[in-house]
Chain A
Amino acid sequence: MFGGLAPWVPTLFLITLAAKFWMEPRGYRLRSVLFKVVLAAVTLGAIFFSYGSVKGIEPGVSLIVVLMSLKILEAHTAREFQVMVIFGWVLCLCGFFLSQDLAVALCLLVAFSLFLVALIQFHRGSSPGAFWPPLHLGGKFLGQALPLVVLLFLLFPRLTTGFRFQIMQPSSATAGFSDRLSPGSIASLANSSEVAFRAEFPDGRIPGPAAMYWRGVVLSRGEGFEWRASESPASIYRATTPFSGDEGIRQWITIEPHGARWMFALDWPSAPPPGASLAPGNYLWSYEPIRKPRRYEVKSSPAISDKELSPRERKMLLEVPAWLSPAVRDLAQSWGSSSSDPRAVVNRALQFFRSGGFQYSLSPGPYKERDLDEFLFHRRLGFCEYYARSFATLMRLAGIPARVVVGYLGGEYNEFGRFFLIRQADTHAWCEVWLPEGGWQRVDPTSVVAPERVNLGLDSFLARRGVSNRASNTFAMNVAQQPIFTKLRLAWDSINYVWDTRVLSFDAEAQRSFVAEIGMSDANPFSLFMRTLMMAVGLLAIYGGWMRLRTRPRADRVKALYGRFCRKAARLGAERQPWEGPLDFSRRAADLVPDQSRRIRDISNTYIALRYSPEPTPSILDTFAREVNAFSLATRGRAR
C-alpha cells in the first residue's frame, strides 16, 4: 500500500501519533512557532531529498501525510480536530492514487468509516466508553449513502478512463518474464505469486490441464543458452492468414499490467483482439505497452493456421550460434543422419532427455553462459527453460526449424468466480518444431523429464517433491494448504477478479454501453449528469418520504379509521363534536341512528379498546378496519 511512498513518511505519521498520545495526558503542547516552522521546513526538505522533486503523486501524497502528521502534533482545538478529519478523508482519496487494489480499497473504506465514527463520537460529547452507538450511527450513515454511491458510480459521466487511473509510471517497466530467455530468468519467477492474468471460458469449453499452454512470446533467435524474440514483430513479413471457422475456444482474459506488449492466449490464437496484432509465430502483440489492466476476448484453435514456411523464415529458424561445441553438434547430427523423418528425430531427442538421467530442479546451480555441454552431458539438472532452450538448439542442429515459446502453463481454477488464475509462478517455456507435413508442432521436453510438472502445475509438483523453497516454514505451508484456506484464497481471488473487471474497468466505454443497455442511448455527458442529478434528488425525496412515513405516530391508522367512521356517521346525521369522547358519541349516535346503533356501539367499543385499553391486541385493528368498512357498506345499503 505504501509501496510508492518513502518509508519514513508513514513511520513519521505513526511516531507523531504516538507522540501525541504521550503528550496529551501530560498537557504538553507544541507552542513555539519557530519550532513548528523549522519542523515543517525539515520535513519538506526531506520529501524533496527522498523523491528529487515535490511534484508528482508520491511526493504530493507524502506532503499531505507529513503535514497531517505535524498537524496531529499541533492540534488542540475542536476546529483543528474537524479539519483533521476532513484531511483524513482527503488522504483516503489519495490512497487510491497509489493503488486501486481491492484490499487497499477495503482498508481505505475502514479508515474512511472510522473517521466518520470519530467525528460522530466527537460531536456526541466526551463521555468515554460508548463505542458502539457512534459505530452504529456511522454504519447507518454509510448505508444510507450507499444507493447514492451506486447511482453516481454507474451514471456520473466518466471523462476518460475508468476508475483505474495510471498516474504512476510503471516502476521497473516489466513484470513477469522478458523477451530474453537467459539462464535463471524463469526460476526467479517460480517464487512469485503475483497474478499474471485471469482467464474465463465463456462457452464452458475448458481444455485439460496438460493442454493449457498460454502462449506469451515466441523466441526465435537462438544463441544456445540465450534466446531472444525478434526485434520487432511488426517489422517482419507477415505470413499469417486469419483463421476461419468457429471451433475455437473462446476466452476472456483480464491481463495485469506488465509494461511489455505481449498478451496471452491459449495455443494457438486465431485472431487478434482489438488493439493488438497477431505476430509471426502466432502470438499476440499489443500496439501499446500494457500499462493498465486490460480485458479482451480471444479465440484459440487447436490447430495452427500458418502451414507455410518461407525460405527466409526457414533460414532464420535454423540459425545456431557458432560457438556450439562439437559434442553438441555431433549429438544432434547423429539423430538427423539416422533418420530422414523429422518426427523420428524429435522422438529420438525426447528419448535422449527421457533416458539420459535428466532431472528437474529449480536450482540447478550456476551454469556458464555458453556451457550447453555441461547441461547436456554432465550435470543434467535444470528446469523448463533449460530443456526448451537446449531442445530447440538441438533441433536446429538436426535441421528441423525450431523456436522457444514462453508463456504460462496451467493455472488455478477458481470455482467461485469460474475463472482460471494464472500467476507468474506458472511461467513456462516450451518448444515448437516445424514438421513438413503438419506445420508447427508443440514439443515440451520438460514433460518428458518431469511429466507431473505439466500435469499438476508447478505448485503441486514442487509440493509433492518436497523441494519447495517457497516457504521455509513448513508448518505455515501446511496450514496454508488446508482446504478451508484454499477456499478462502479462491474466494478472495474471485472477489478481486470481480473488483478488477466490474468496478475498476468500468470506464467511459463500459459506461456508455451500460447506459445504452438501460435505454438512454443518446446520453452525452451533460444530459447524463443532469439525469444523475435528477435521480439523486428523486432518491433523496423517496428516502425523505420513507423516513416521514416511518416516524409517523403508530396510532395513526386507528385514528384515521375512526375519523372515517365519524364522517360516515355524520352522513347518517350523527355528527361528532370535536370534544366529544368516543363513548359519549357512540351513545348519542346510537340514539340518533337507531337502526345502526349496534354497529355504532361495536365500532366505538373496538376503537376504545384499541386506543385506551392497556394492551390492545394487534388483531383487533384488522377487526376494526373491517367493521368500519362494513359500516360503509351498511350506509350504502341504507341509502339504497
Chain B
Amino acid sequence: MLDVTRQPSPFSTWFANGIDPADRFGVKDRLDAFTRQVCEIIVGKTEAVKLAVACLLARGHLLIEDIPGVGKTTLSQALARSLALGFQRIQFTSDLLPADILGNSIFDRDEQRFVFHCGPLFSQVVLIDEVNRATAKTQSALLEAMEEYHVSSDGVTYDLPQPFFVIATQNPQHQVGTFPLPESQLDRFLMRIELGVPDRASERAMLLGMDRRDMLKELKPVFSIETLLEIQQNVRKTHTSPALLDYLQDLLDASRQRHSTGLSPRAGLALLHASQAWALLSGRDMVLPEDIQAVGVAVMSHRLGHDIEQPGQSGRTLADALLRSVPVP
C-alpha cells in the first residue's frame, strides 16, 4: 500500500522566485487548522479525515463503508461544525420514499395553494446513514439531487444550498434486506473510504478523552462558508502539468485495458479534482503524481470494485495494483 499518511513537507527550495506555494491561495494555515480540529475528534484517522476534507473541497460526495460505531456520524458532524455548516442526518430505511428526503408539496389552506416544504436533504452537510437500505427509487432520487444540486418537484426546481456535501454510509456486513447501489450510482460518489478501527494508542486516547458529543458542541468554525466556496473554486485552479495529465491518462488507459469496465471519463475528472484538492491540502499549487496516488484508491476502488472478470478481488486491491503497475512518466 502506498504511503499516503505522510505529512506535508516544506517546499521552500522548489521555487527560484521564493514564493511559498501554499500562499498562492492563502489558505494553507486555515486548511491545516481545519484538518487538525477534525483530527482531534476522530483520533488516529488522519488519512481518512484528510480524504474526507479533500472530498469536500473538491465538491464531491463521500461514501463511507464501514461497520457501525467507528465514528462516521462524528466525522460528518465534526466537518459540519468546524465550518459552521448546516447538518442533517437521514436514516435510510426500506420504507423511505423520495418525498421523505426531498420534501413535499402540501396544500396551504390560508393561501389556497400548494406550498413546497423542503425535506431534510436541504442542508449543507447531509449524512445518509445506511444508504443501501432504501429502495432503488429513493436512492436514485438522492443521487440525482447529488449530481444536479437541485430538486425538482411539481415542475418547479429548488436549488440545494451551497455548499452541498453528502456523506453516505453503508455497512459492508449484514447485506440481507439491502439494495446495493448500482455501479452507475456509485460513480456519483467522488470517494469511498473506510474508517476502520483505530490503532491501540489512538483508541486509548479516545477512551481517556472527553465525550465526543461534548467536544462537538464546543467546536468553533475555522472559516466561513464564503471562504469554503472560494477554496472550492481554487481547487480547480491548482496547476496540472502536461506530465501529470500524461500520468493520469496512462492510469485511465491502463484501467481500460486491464478491466472489462475501465474508469469512465467522469472517473478521470474525479481523480483530477480529488488530486487537486489533495495537493491544495498538502500546501502545493501543483499536482504531483503522489497526489493522484494518495487519492487514487479512494477514488477508484468503488469504480473498479465490481469487475466481473475478477470477481474475487475487492476494488481496493484492484486500484492498488493499478497504481503500482503504471509507471510515473
Binding site for B on A (CB under 8 A): 555, 559, 577-584, 587, 601-602, 605-606, 608-609, 611-614, 617, 619-620, 623
User: When chains A and B are docked, how far (Å) is the Cα of A458 from the Cα of B127?
Assistant: 107
User: When chains A and B are docked, how far (Å) is the Cα of A623 from the Cα of B325?
Assistant: 32
User: When chains A and B are docked, how far (Å) is the Cα of A612 from the Cα of B325?
Assistant: 21
Q: Are B14 and A605 in contact (CB under 8 A)?
A: yes
Q: Are B16 and A612 in contact (CB under 8 A)?
A: no
Task: Determine, out of B48-56, B71-79, B157-165, B282-290, the stretch whose residues face the partner at the interface.
Answer: B282-290
| A614 touching B239 in the complex, CB below 8 Å, given contacts A581-B293, A609-B15 | yes
Q: Are A581 and B14 in contact (CB under 8 A)?
A: no
Contacts of A584 in B (CB 8 A): 2-3, 290, 293
In the complex, whether B324 has a CB less than 8 A from a CB of chain A is yes
Contacts of B33 in A (CB 8 A): none
User: When chains A and B are docked, how far (Å) is the Cα of A620 from the Cα of B15?
Assistant: 9
Q: Are A617 and B16 in contact (CB under 8 A)?
A: yes
Smallest Cβ-Cβ distance to B24: which chain A residue: A614
Contacts of A578 in B (CB 8 A): 327-328
A337 to chain B minimum Cβ distance, whole angstroms, is: 108
Could you show 10 A-B contacts with beta carbons less than 8 Å apart? A559-B329, A580-B328, A581-B289, A584-B293, A601-B13, A605-B14, A609-B15, A609-B16, A611-B241, A623-B16
A607 to chain B minimum Cβ distance, whole angstroms, is: 10
Q: Are B323 and A579 in contact (CB under 8 A)?
A: yes
| A612 touching B290 in the complex, CB below 8 Å, given contacts A578-B327, A579-B326 | no
User: When chains A and B are docked, how far (Å) is the Cα of A606 from the Cα of B14?
Assistant: 6
Q: Are A582 and B285 in contact (CB under 8 A)?
A: no
Smallest Cβ-Cβ distance to B289: which chain A residue: A581
Q: B108-124 vs A: 1/0 string, CB under 8 Å?
A: 00000000000000000
| A613 touching B324 in the complex, CB below 8 Å, given contacts A581-B293, A587-B6 | no
A126 to chain B minimum Cβ distance, whole angstroms, is: 34
Contacts of A581 in B (CB 8 A): 288-290, 293, 328
Contacts of B323 in A (CB 8 A): 579
| Residue in contact with B288 in the complex, picked from A555, A612, A614, A617, CB distance below 8 Å | A612
Smallest Cβ-Cβ distance to A583: which chain B residue: B290
User: When chains A and B are docked, how far (Å) is the Cα of A609 from the Cα of B12?
Assistant: 11
Contacts of A620 in B (CB 8 A): 16
B322 to chain A minimum Cβ distance, whole angstroms, is: 9
Contacts of B14 in A (CB 8 A): 605, 608-609, 613
| A579 touching B288 in the complex, CB below 8 Å, given contacts A555-B243, A613-B14 | no
User: When chains A and B are docked, how far (Å) is the Cα of A21 from the Cα of B165?
Assistant: 67
Smallest Cβ-Cβ distance to B325: which chain A residue: A579
Interface size on B, residues (CB 8 A): 29
Smallest Cβ-Cβ distance to B241: which chain A residue: A612
| Residue in contact with A613 in the complex, picked from B6, B9, B15, CB distance below 8 Å | B15
Contacts of A614 in B (CB 8 A): 239, 241, 285-286
In B281-328, the 8 Å CB interface with A consists of: 285-290, 293, 323-328
B173 to chain A minimum Cβ distance, whole angstroms, is: 33
User: When chains A and B are docked, how far (Å) is the Cα of A546 from the Cα of B11?
Assistant: 39
User: When chains A and B are docked, how far (Å) is the Cα of A608 from the Cα of B11?
Assistant: 10
In the complex, whether B69 has a CB less than 8 A from a CB of chain A is no
Q: Are B327 and A555 in contact (CB under 8 A)?
A: no
| A608 touching B288 in the complex, CB below 8 Å, given contacts A579-B325, A582-B328 | yes
Further contacts, 15 of them, CB under 8 A, given A582-B289, A587-B6, A605-B13: A579-B293, A581-B288, A581-B289, A581-B328, A601-B13, A602-B13, A605-B11, A608-B14, A611-B243, A612-B243, A613-B14, A613-B15, A613-B239, A613-B286, A614-B285
In the complex, whether B244 has a CB less than 8 A from a CB of chain A is yes
User: When chains A and B are docked, how far (Å) is the Cα of A612 from the Cα of B324?
Assistant: 20
B136 to chain A minimum Cβ distance, whole angstroms, is: 38
In the complex, whether B265 has a CB less than 8 A from a CB of chain A is no
In the complex, whether B209 has a CB less than 8 A from a CB of chain A is no
Q: Are A612 and B6 in contact (CB under 8 A)?
A: no
Contacts of B177 in A (CB 8 A): none
In B198-243, the 8 Å CB interface with A consists of: 239, 241-243
User: When chains A and B are docked, how far (Å) is the Cα of A551 from the Cα of B326?
Assistant: 25
In B1-27, the 8 Å CB interface with A consists of: 2-3, 6, 9, 11, 13-17
Contacts of A577 in B (CB 8 A): 324
Q: B239-281 vs A: 1/0 string, CB under 8 Å?
A: 1011110000000000000000000000000000000000000
Contacts of B17 in A (CB 8 A): 617
User: When chains A and B are docked, how far (Å) is the Cα of A606 from the Cα of B12?
Assistant: 11
A343 to chain B minimum Cβ distance, whole angstroms, is: 94
Contacts of B285 in A (CB 8 A): 614
User: When chains A and B are docked, how far (Å) is the Cα of A602 from the Cα of B243?
Assistant: 20
Smallest Cβ-Cβ distance to B247: which chain A residue: A581
User: When chains A and B are docked, how far (Å) is the Cα of A279 from the Cα of B328?
Assistant: 89
Contacts of B327 in A (CB 8 A): 578-579
In B78-112, the 8 Å CB interface with A consists of: none
User: When chains A and B are docked, how far (Å) is the Cα of A608 from the Cα of B289?
Assistant: 10
User: When chains A and B are docked, how far (Å) is the Cα of A266 from the Cα of B16?
Assistant: 76
Contacts of B15 in A (CB 8 A): 609, 613
Contacts of A609 in B (CB 8 A): 14-16
User: When chains A and B are docked, how far (Å) is the Cα of A561 from the Cα of B323?
Assistant: 24
Contacts of A617 in B (CB 8 A): 16-17
Contacts of A601 in B (CB 8 A): 13
Closest 8 CB pairs of A and B: A578-B327, A581-B289, A581-B290, A614-B239, A612-B241, A611-B243, A605-B13, A612-B286
User: When chains A and B are docked, how far (Å) is the Cα of A182 from the Cα of B270?
Assistant: 101
Contacts of B241 in A (CB 8 A): 611-614
Contacts of A580 in B (CB 8 A): 328
A604 to chain B minimum Cβ distance, whole angstroms, is: 10
User: When chains A and B are docked, how far (Å) is the Cα of A555 from the Cα of B247?
Assistant: 14
| Residue in contact with A579 in the complex, picked from B239, B243, B244, B328, CB distance below 8 Å | B328
B279 to chain A minimum Cβ distance, whole angstroms, is: 9
Smallest Cβ-Cβ distance to A585: which chain B residue: B328
Contacts of B325 in A (CB 8 A): 579
